[in-house]
Amino acid sequence: MSPLSSQMLCFLLNITCYYITHTLQFDPFTVF
């Protein structure tokens, strides 16, 4: 994978984590 696509993947992952955390109101790190 190119650095750009890996950056985009990381960005999308961060957005997803943020969305999940703020909609469900829990810390995802406590689950794992």
pTM equals: 0.51
- Distant-in-sequence, close-in-space partners of 1: CB < 8 Å, separation ≥ 6: 9
More confident residue, 5 or 17: 5
The chain-wide mean pLDDT, for the chain, equals 77
More confident residue, 11 or 28: 11
CA distance 28 to 21: 7
